[in-house]
Every structure is written in structure tokens, then in C-alpha cells.
């Protein structure tokens, strides 16, 4: 399964406030992406001024980003995290979210996974 990781450049010293924003995250009702694929897993990591959202998915990454852009929980997190960002993120529209998602994407250097039972 492919993985993606996106970064958030947060204000130093706000780690606890940002962690609180993500602690109330509202998951999508379904993990199925309408354009095909699924979101299999997500995780959020923070250290100092860097927050990373890790996503394991199936399908097209742009379709995953569009799906995420429309999720109420994701939209709420983006709204709540805005005061803690060093640089504003244009995530108010699907197009802006996808553009920001792509710009925040870390380059995958390598990935490994063991086969999973069906």
C-alpha cells in the first residue's frame, strides 16, 4: 500500500494546543474514496514546529486529497489549526486543499510493508 506524509509548519511552543486540536478529530463515516480507493490508516506526529500527517491509502492520491477536503472533520481541524500555523494554508475550497496538500507532501524515499491477510 502506498503512503503519503504531509507537513504543517506550526508556531514553536504550540505543540500542546495543536495536539489538542487533533485529539478531537472526527473520522469520516466511510474510508471509501468515491473516485476509487480507500484510506487505510492515518497518524499525526509532532515535534517542535513540525507536524506530520501520515496516510496509508489505496488508489489515486489526488482522489484521496479531494475526499479529505470534503470531510467535516478535516475541515474542522484545518479551521482550528489555522491560528497555530506559521504560514496560512488555503484549505477553504477543495481546489485550495488539494493544492496545499500537494505543496505539503513529503517526498517518499522508501517504503516497506509485509503482506496483509485478506
How far is 17 from 71, CA to CA, in rounded Å?
A: 22
Write the CA distances from 25 to 16, 60, 99, 116, integer angstroms: 15, 23, 22, 27
Domains and CATH numbers, the chain: 3-106 (3.30.70.100)
**In this predicted model, what pLDDT tens digit does every residue of 16-39 receive, in sequence order?**
999 999 998 888 888 899 988 999
Average pLDDT over residues 95-112: 95
Tell me which residue of 74, 76, 69 sits closest to 96, measured CA to CA. 69
How far is 46 from 51, CA to CA, in rounded Å?
A: 4
**In this predicted model, what pLDDT tens digit does every residue of 41-84 receive, in sequence order?**
999 999 999 999 999 999 999 999 999 999 999 999 999 999 99
Is the pLDDT higher at 24 or at 7? 7
Is the dihedral angle over the CA atoms 57, 60, 69, 46 positive or is it negative? positive
Q: Mean pLDDT over all residues of the chain?
A: 93
**In this predicted model, what pLDDT tens digit does every residue of 46-58 receive, in sequence order?**
999 999 999 999 9
**Backbone Cα Rg of the chain:** 14
How far is 18 from 81, CA to CA, in rounded Å?
A: 6
Residue 112 pLDDT > 90:
no
pLDDT at 73: 93
> Which of the four pLDDT bands, split at 50, 70 and 90, describes residue 118?
low
Amino acid at each position: 500500500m502506498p503512503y503519503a506524509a504531509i507537513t504543517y509548519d506550526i508556531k514553536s511552543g504550540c505543540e500542546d494546543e495543536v495536539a489538542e486540536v487533533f485529539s478531537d478529530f472526527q473520522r469520516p463515516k466511510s474510508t471509501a474514496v468515491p473516485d476509487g480507493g480507500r484510506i487505510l490508516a492515518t497518524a499525526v506526529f509532532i515535534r517542535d514546529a513540525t507536524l506530520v500527517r501520515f496516510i496509508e491509502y489505496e488508489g489515486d492520491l489526488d482522489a484521496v486529497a479531494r475526499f479529505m477536503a470534503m470531510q467535516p472533520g478535516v475541515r474542522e481541524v484545518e479551521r482550528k489549526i489555522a491560528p497555530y500555523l506559521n504560514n496560512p494554508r488555503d484549505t477553504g475550497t477543495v481546489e485550495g486543499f488539494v493544492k496545499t496538500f500537494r505543496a505539503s507532501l513529503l517526498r517518499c524515499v522508501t517504503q516497506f510493508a509485509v503482506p496483509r491477510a485478506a
